[in-house]
Amino acid sequence: MMNRPRIAAIMLPLFCLSVAVAQKGSSSTDTVFMDSVLYEGDKCGLPGMRTGTCQKAADCPQGIRANGARCEFSGNDPVVCCPTEAPGTGDGTSNRFTARIAKQECERFTSASANIIDHISGRAIEALRGEFPFVALVNFRGEEGEEVKLTRCGASLIAPRFLLTAAHCLKDLNPVTVEIGFIQLSDTEKDEYEIKQVHLHEGHKSRRNDIALIELKNNVTYKQDVGPICLNTDRPEIGPSINLTVMGWGADGDGQRADKLMKGTVYEIPLDECVQRFRDAKQRISLGEDQLCALGEKVNDETTDACQGDSGGPLVMTVRQKFYLVGVVSTGAVCGGSLPGIYTRVSRYLEWIEQRVWGSPN
Protein backbone atom coordinates (compact mmCIF):
# COMPACT_ATOMS: atom_id res chain seq x y z
CA MET A 1 0.00 0.00 0.00
CA MET A 2 0.92 3.50 0.86
CA ASN A 3 1.29 5.04 -2.41
CA ARG A 4 -1.41 6.84 -4.30
CA PRO A 5 -4.74 5.49 -5.59
CA ARG A 6 -4.87 5.13 -9.37
CA ILE A 7 -8.23 3.49 -8.93
CA ALA A 8 -9.87 4.57 -12.06
CA ALA A 9 -10.23 1.23 -13.75
CA ILE A 10 -12.60 -0.47 -11.32
CA MET A 11 -12.30 1.38 -9.89
CA LEU A 12 -28.83 6.33 29.48
CA PRO A 13 -29.90 7.96 31.37
CA LEU A 14 -26.88 9.04 33.45
CA PHE A 15 -27.28 8.21 37.13
CA CYS A 16 -24.93 9.98 39.53
CA LEU A 17 -24.81 10.61 43.25
CA SER A 18 -25.31 14.34 43.74
CA VAL A 19 -22.92 15.47 41.01
CA ALA A 20 -22.89 19.25 40.86
CA VAL A 21 -22.85 20.99 37.48
CA ALA A 22 -22.07 24.70 37.28
CA GLN A 23 -24.13 26.76 34.83
CA LYS A 24 -21.73 28.71 32.68
CA GLY A 25 -22.03 32.30 31.64
CA SER A 26 -23.60 33.74 34.81
CA SER A 27 -22.20 35.82 37.64
CA SER A 28 -23.44 33.33 40.21
CA THR A 29 -23.19 29.56 40.13
CA ASP A 30 -26.39 27.61 39.58
CA THR A 31 -25.93 24.09 40.87
CA VAL A 32 -27.96 21.20 39.52
CA PHE A 33 -27.91 17.86 41.32
CA MET A 34 -28.18 14.97 38.96
CA ASP A 35 -30.14 12.85 41.42
CA SER A 36 -32.74 15.57 42.10
CA VAL A 37 -36.14 15.53 40.39
CA LEU A 38 -35.96 17.48 37.13
CA TYR A 39 -38.98 18.75 35.21
CA GLU A 40 -39.56 20.32 31.82
CA GLY A 41 -37.68 23.62 31.64
CA ASP A 42 -35.18 22.76 34.39
CA LYS A 43 -31.42 22.85 33.81
CA CYS A 44 -29.85 19.39 33.54
CA GLY A 45 -26.39 17.86 33.26
CA LEU A 46 -24.79 16.04 30.34
CA PRO A 47 -21.56 14.03 29.96
CA GLY A 48 -18.41 16.09 29.59
CA MET A 49 -19.50 18.81 32.06
CA ARG A 50 -22.01 20.15 29.55
CA THR A 51 -25.41 21.55 30.41
CA GLY A 52 -28.84 21.25 28.89
CA THR A 53 -32.51 21.94 29.48
CA CYS A 54 -35.25 19.39 30.06
CA GLN A 55 -37.43 19.41 26.94
CA LYS A 56 -40.01 17.13 25.42
CA ALA A 57 -38.34 14.43 23.36
CA ALA A 58 -40.51 15.34 20.37
CA ASP A 59 -38.92 18.81 20.38
CA CYS A 60 -35.37 17.53 20.86
CA PRO A 61 -34.83 14.14 19.19
CA GLN A 62 -31.05 14.42 19.60
CA GLY A 63 -31.54 14.54 23.37
CA ILE A 64 -32.75 10.94 23.33
CA ARG A 65 -29.20 9.83 22.59
CA ALA A 66 -27.41 12.45 24.68
CA ASN A 67 -27.10 10.31 27.84
CA GLY A 68 -28.04 13.23 30.04
CA ALA A 69 -29.72 13.51 33.43
CA ARG A 70 -33.14 11.96 33.83
CA CYS A 71 -36.06 14.33 33.39
CA GLU A 72 -39.60 13.52 34.60
CA PHE A 73 -42.43 12.95 32.12
CA SER A 74 -44.68 15.89 31.23
CA GLY A 75 -48.05 14.20 31.37
CA ASN A 76 -47.65 11.30 28.96
CA ASP A 77 -44.85 12.97 27.02
CA PRO A 78 -41.26 11.80 27.62
CA VAL A 79 -38.84 14.58 28.55
CA VAL A 80 -35.09 14.46 27.84
CA CYS A 81 -32.05 16.52 28.70
CA CYS A 82 -31.60 18.54 25.52
CA PRO A 83 -28.05 19.82 24.84
CA THR A 84 -27.81 23.58 24.74
CA GLU A 85 -24.05 23.91 24.46
CA ALA A 86 -21.55 22.55 21.99
CA PRO A 87 -19.21 19.99 23.57
CA GLY A 88 -15.77 21.43 24.14
CA THR A 89 -16.75 25.11 24.19
CA GLY A 90 -16.41 25.35 27.95
CA ASP A 91 -15.62 29.04 27.97
CA GLY A 92 -18.99 30.22 29.21
CA THR A 93 -19.48 32.51 26.23
CA SER A 94 -22.50 32.81 23.97
CA ASN A 95 -22.39 30.52 20.89
CA ARG A 96 -24.67 27.96 22.48
CA PHE A 97 -26.22 25.49 20.08
CA THR A 98 -27.42 21.94 19.97
CA ALA A 99 -24.65 19.38 19.53
CA ARG A 100 -25.00 17.47 16.29
CA ILE A 101 -25.76 13.78 16.48
CA ALA A 102 -22.37 12.66 15.07
CA LYS A 103 -20.62 14.40 17.97
CA GLN A 104 -23.00 12.91 20.52
CA GLU A 105 -22.37 9.44 19.12
CA CYS A 106 -18.62 10.04 19.28
CA GLU A 107 -18.87 10.70 23.01
CA ARG A 108 -20.24 7.19 23.43
CA PHE A 109 -17.23 5.59 21.77
CA THR A 110 -14.32 4.28 23.78
CA SER A 111 -10.80 5.67 23.43
CA ALA A 112 -8.47 4.64 20.67
CA SER A 113 -6.46 1.46 20.89
CA ALA A 114 -3.74 1.28 23.50
CA ASN A 115 -1.57 -0.10 20.71
CA ILE A 116 -1.06 3.34 19.15
CA ILE A 117 2.60 4.03 18.48
CA ASP A 118 4.44 6.77 16.65
CA HIS A 119 4.14 6.23 12.92
CA ILE A 120 7.21 6.26 10.73
CA SER A 121 6.92 9.14 8.27
CA GLY A 122 7.88 8.58 4.68
CA ARG A 123 7.25 4.86 4.54
CA ALA A 124 4.55 2.26 5.01
CA ILE A 125 4.70 -0.10 7.93
CA GLU A 126 2.51 -2.93 9.11
CA ALA A 127 -0.35 -2.03 11.41
CA LEU A 128 -0.76 -3.81 14.73
CA ARG A 129 -3.73 -6.02 15.44
CA GLY A 130 -6.44 -3.94 17.08
CA GLU A 131 -4.66 -0.65 16.33
CA PHE A 132 -7.38 0.48 13.93
CA PRO A 133 -10.54 -1.38 15.01
CA PHE A 134 -12.73 0.55 12.59
CA VAL A 135 -11.04 -0.29 9.29
CA ALA A 136 -12.74 -2.88 7.08
CA LEU A 137 -12.26 -4.55 3.71
CA VAL A 138 -15.08 -4.72 1.15
CA ASN A 139 -15.53 -7.98 -0.77
CA PHE A 140 -17.07 -8.11 -4.25
CA ARG A 141 -18.77 -10.74 -6.40
CA GLY A 142 -18.99 -10.90 -10.19
CA GLU A 143 -22.08 -11.44 -12.32
CA GLU A 144 -21.66 -15.19 -12.06
CA GLY A 145 -21.25 -15.07 -8.29
CA GLU A 146 -17.48 -15.56 -8.41
CA GLU A 147 -15.24 -13.63 -6.02
CA VAL A 148 -13.60 -10.57 -7.57
CA LYS A 149 -10.09 -10.69 -6.14
CA LEU A 150 -8.49 -8.01 -8.30
CA THR A 151 -10.54 -5.23 -6.74
CA ARG A 152 -10.00 -4.08 -3.18
CA CYS A 153 -11.63 -1.22 -1.34
CA GLY A 154 -11.52 -0.18 2.26
CA ALA A 155 -14.24 1.24 4.49
CA SER A 156 -14.61 2.70 8.00
CA LEU A 157 -17.08 1.55 10.63
CA ILE A 158 -18.97 4.60 11.95
CA ALA A 159 -22.06 2.96 13.53
CA PRO A 160 -23.18 -0.59 14.38
CA ARG A 161 -24.69 -1.10 10.93
CA PHE A 162 -22.97 1.50 8.75
CA LEU A 163 -19.55 1.97 7.14
CA LEU A 164 -18.26 4.94 5.17
CA THR A 165 -16.38 4.41 1.90
CA ALA A 166 -15.84 5.91 -1.56
CA ALA A 167 -18.71 5.97 -4.07
CA HIS A 168 -16.49 4.95 -6.98
CA CYS A 169 -15.76 1.67 -5.18
CA LEU A 170 -19.40 0.64 -5.31
CA LYS A 171 -20.84 2.26 -8.41
CA ASP A 172 -20.12 -0.42 -10.98
CA LEU A 173 -19.41 -3.42 -8.77
CA ASN A 174 -21.37 -5.80 -6.59
CA PRO A 175 -20.23 -5.52 -2.96
CA VAL A 176 -21.49 -8.46 -0.91
CA THR A 177 -19.67 -8.52 2.44
CA VAL A 178 -17.25 -6.57 4.61
CA GLU A 179 -14.53 -8.07 6.80
CA ILE A 180 -13.28 -6.40 9.95
CA GLY A 181 -11.06 -7.16 12.92
CA PHE A 182 -7.96 -8.50 11.17
CA ILE A 183 -4.56 -7.51 9.78
CA GLN A 184 -3.51 -10.22 7.32
CA LEU A 185 -5.85 -11.31 4.54
CA SER A 186 -5.15 -14.92 5.51
CA ASP A 187 -6.28 -14.36 9.10
CA THR A 188 -8.97 -16.82 10.10
CA GLU A 189 -10.04 -14.79 13.13
CA LYS A 190 -11.98 -12.01 11.42
CA ASP A 191 -15.61 -10.99 11.37
CA GLU A 192 -17.60 -10.96 8.14
CA TYR A 193 -20.95 -9.21 7.65
CA GLU A 194 -23.35 -9.29 4.72
CA ILE A 195 -24.23 -6.04 3.00
CA LYS A 196 -27.91 -5.07 2.91
CA GLN A 197 -27.60 -2.07 0.57
CA VAL A 198 -25.34 0.78 -0.42
CA HIS A 199 -26.10 4.50 -0.38
CA LEU A 200 -24.18 6.40 -3.05
CA HIS A 201 -24.06 10.17 -2.82
CA GLU A 202 -26.62 11.55 -5.23
CA GLY A 203 -24.16 14.06 -6.63
CA HIS A 204 -21.36 11.57 -7.29
CA LYS A 205 -19.69 12.16 -10.63
CA SER A 206 -16.13 11.21 -11.48
CA ARG A 207 -14.27 11.91 -8.22
CA ARG A 208 -16.59 14.65 -6.92
CA ASN A 209 -18.87 13.73 -4.03
CA ASP A 210 -16.92 10.49 -3.90
CA ILE A 211 -18.57 9.18 -0.76
CA ALA A 212 -20.96 6.35 0.05
CA LEU A 213 -22.43 4.41 2.94
CA ILE A 214 -22.56 0.65 3.28
CA GLU A 215 -25.54 -0.61 5.27
CA LEU A 216 -25.22 -4.07 6.79
CA LYS A 217 -27.92 -6.66 7.39
CA ASN A 218 -26.90 -7.06 11.04
CA ASN A 219 -25.20 -4.93 13.66
CA VAL A 220 -21.46 -5.32 14.05
CA THR A 221 -20.45 -6.80 17.40
CA TYR A 222 -18.08 -4.39 19.11
CA LYS A 223 -15.09 -5.88 20.91
CA GLN A 224 -11.46 -5.11 21.65
CA ASP A 225 -10.33 -5.12 18.03
CA VAL A 226 -13.63 -4.07 16.41
CA GLY A 227 -15.27 -0.70 17.02
CA PRO A 228 -16.39 2.53 15.30
CA ILE A 229 -14.49 5.71 14.57
CA CYS A 230 -15.67 9.25 15.31
CA LEU A 231 -16.46 11.59 12.43
CA ASN A 232 -14.44 14.79 12.32
CA THR A 233 -17.00 17.40 13.39
CA ASP A 234 -14.73 20.03 14.98
CA ARG A 235 -11.84 20.69 12.60
CA PRO A 236 -12.99 21.27 9.01
CA GLU A 237 -9.53 22.68 8.32
CA ILE A 238 -6.74 20.38 9.44
CA GLY A 239 -3.54 22.10 8.32
CA PRO A 240 -0.08 20.70 7.50
CA SER A 241 1.06 20.59 11.13
CA ILE A 242 -1.27 17.70 12.01
CA ASN A 243 -0.14 14.10 11.48
CA LEU A 244 -2.70 12.15 9.51
CA THR A 245 -2.64 8.38 9.05
CA VAL A 246 -3.79 6.54 5.94
CA MET A 247 -4.15 2.77 5.85
CA GLY A 248 -5.25 -0.08 3.63
CA TRP A 249 -4.54 -3.39 1.95
CA GLY A 250 -3.56 -1.74 -1.34
CA ALA A 251 -0.45 -2.02 -3.49
CA ASP A 252 2.98 -0.65 -2.69
CA GLY A 253 5.08 1.61 -4.88
CA ASP A 254 6.22 -1.37 -6.95
CA GLY A 255 2.66 -2.46 -7.64
CA GLN A 256 2.89 -5.43 -5.28
CA ARG A 257 -0.43 -6.12 -3.59
CA ALA A 258 -0.22 -6.15 0.20
CA ASP A 259 -1.50 -9.15 2.11
CA LYS A 260 -1.55 -7.22 5.39
CA LEU A 261 -2.90 -3.88 6.59
CA MET A 262 -0.32 -1.16 6.10
CA LYS A 263 -0.24 2.39 7.44
CA GLY A 264 1.65 5.58 6.72
CA THR A 265 1.78 9.19 7.87
CA VAL A 266 0.75 12.02 5.55
CA TYR A 267 0.07 15.74 5.93
CA GLU A 268 -2.57 17.99 4.43
CA ILE A 269 -1.53 20.05 1.41
CA PRO A 270 -3.52 23.30 0.94
CA LEU A 271 -5.90 23.05 -2.02
CA ASP A 272 -4.34 25.92 -3.98
CA GLU A 273 -0.88 24.42 -3.59
CA CYS A 274 -2.24 20.99 -4.49
CA VAL A 275 -3.80 22.28 -7.72
CA GLN A 276 -0.56 24.08 -8.61
CA ARG A 277 1.47 20.90 -8.13
CA PHE A 278 -0.75 19.08 -10.59
CA ARG A 279 -0.52 21.96 -13.06
CA ASP A 280 3.26 21.99 -12.79
CA ALA A 281 3.14 18.29 -13.65
CA LYS A 282 1.03 19.13 -16.75
CA GLN A 283 -2.04 17.46 -15.28
CA ARG A 284 -5.38 19.19 -15.29
CA ILE A 285 -7.41 18.88 -12.13
CA SER A 286 -10.35 20.64 -10.53
CA LEU A 287 -10.69 20.48 -6.76
CA GLY A 288 -13.32 21.80 -4.38
CA GLU A 289 -13.71 22.45 -0.66
CA ASP A 290 -15.30 19.02 -0.33
CA GLN A 291 -11.92 17.48 -1.13
CA LEU A 292 -8.61 17.29 0.70
CA CYS A 293 -5.06 16.75 -0.53
CA ALA A 294 -2.42 14.95 1.50
CA LEU A 295 1.07 13.54 1.02
CA GLY A 296 3.80 12.07 3.20
CA GLU A 297 7.54 12.44 3.27
CA LYS A 298 9.87 11.09 0.62
CA VAL A 299 12.03 8.11 1.55
CA ASN A 300 14.23 6.22 -0.92
CA ASP A 301 12.70 7.96 -3.94
CA GLU A 302 9.18 6.99 -2.86
CA THR A 303 6.61 9.21 -1.19
CA THR A 304 4.20 7.92 1.42
CA ASP A 305 0.64 7.90 0.16
CA ALA A 306 -2.25 5.59 -0.68
CA CYS A 307 -2.34 3.40 -3.79
CA GLN A 308 -4.56 0.99 -5.75
CA GLY A 309 -6.66 -1.04 -3.37
CA ASP A 310 -6.70 1.61 -0.66
CA SER A 311 -9.71 3.42 -2.15
CA GLY A 312 -12.55 4.03 0.26
CA GLY A 313 -10.26 3.56 3.22
CA PRO A 314 -9.80 6.02 6.09
CA LEU A 315 -7.61 9.05 6.55
CA VAL A 316 -7.57 9.70 10.30
CA MET A 317 -6.20 11.97 12.98
CA THR A 318 -5.83 11.22 16.70
CA VAL A 319 -6.98 13.69 19.34
CA ARG A 320 -6.71 12.83 23.04
CA GLN A 321 -6.37 9.11 22.33
CA LYS A 322 -9.44 8.99 20.10
CA PHE A 323 -9.53 8.52 16.32
CA TYR A 324 -11.39 10.93 14.05
CA LEU A 325 -12.22 10.20 10.41
CA VAL A 326 -10.96 13.13 8.37
CA GLY A 327 -11.06 11.81 4.82
CA VAL A 328 -11.92 8.92 2.50
CA VAL A 329 -9.30 7.75 -0.01
CA SER A 330 -10.53 8.85 -3.43
CA THR A 331 -7.97 9.29 -6.23
CA GLY A 332 -4.58 10.63 -7.26
CA ALA A 333 -1.81 10.32 -9.81
CA VAL A 334 1.07 7.86 -10.02
CA CYS A 335 1.73 5.94 -6.81
CA GLY A 336 4.75 7.03 -4.81
CA GLY A 337 5.27 10.20 -6.82
CA SER A 338 5.41 13.83 -5.75
CA LEU A 339 1.74 14.60 -6.40
CA PRO A 340 -0.63 14.54 -3.43
CA GLY A 341 -3.36 12.00 -2.95
CA ILE A 342 -6.93 13.28 -3.09
CA TYR A 343 -9.46 12.47 -0.39
CA THR A 344 -13.12 13.22 0.19
CA ARG A 345 -13.36 15.66 3.13
CA VAL A 346 -15.70 14.02 5.66
CA SER A 347 -16.60 17.23 7.52
CA ARG A 348 -18.36 18.51 4.38
CA TYR A 349 -20.79 15.57 4.39
CA LEU A 350 -21.86 15.38 8.02
CA GLU A 351 -25.51 16.23 7.37
CA TRP A 352 -25.73 13.75 4.50
CA ILE A 353 -24.22 11.02 6.69
CA GLU A 354 -26.27 11.81 9.80
CA GLN A 355 -29.58 11.77 7.99
CA ARG A 356 -28.96 8.28 6.63
CA VAL A 357 -27.26 6.72 9.63
CA TRP A 358 -29.06 8.29 12.59
CA GLY A 359 -32.01 10.06 10.99
CA SER A 360 -30.68 13.33 12.37
CA PRO A 361 -32.68 16.53 11.83
CA ASN A 362 -29.44 18.59 11.63
Beta pairing partners, 267: 295
State the catalytic residue, choosing from 113, 311, 330, 360.
311
CA–CA gap between residue 86 and residue 131 (Å, rounded): 29
Q: How many CA atoms lie within 13 A of 190 on its CB side?
A: 22
Phi, psi of 106 (to 5 degrees): -60, -35
CA–CA gap between residue 48 and residue 107 (Å, rounded): 9
CA–CA gap between residue 288 and residue 136 (Å, rounded): 27
The answer to whether 350 and 233 are in contact (CB under 8 A) is yes
Helices (H), the chain: 101-108, 167-170, 271-280, 350-357
Q: Which residues have a Cβ under 8 Å from the Cβ of 92 and sit 6 or more positions away?
A: 24, 25
Short-list 158, 151, 116, 123, CA closest to 137: 151
Q: Which residues have a Cβ under 8 Å from the Cβ of 320 and sit 6 or more positions away?
A: none
State the catalytic residue, choosing from 42, 113, 119, 168.
168
Beta pairing partners, 142: none
168 is an active site residue:
yes
CA–CA gap between residue 257 and residue 47 (Å, rounded): 44
CA–CA gap between residue 24 and residue 12 (Å, rounded): 24
Burial string for 111-144 (b: 16+ CB within 10 Å, else e) reads: ebbeeeeebeebbbeebebbbbbbbbbbbbeeee
Instruction: List residues with catalytic annotation.
Output: 168, 210, 311
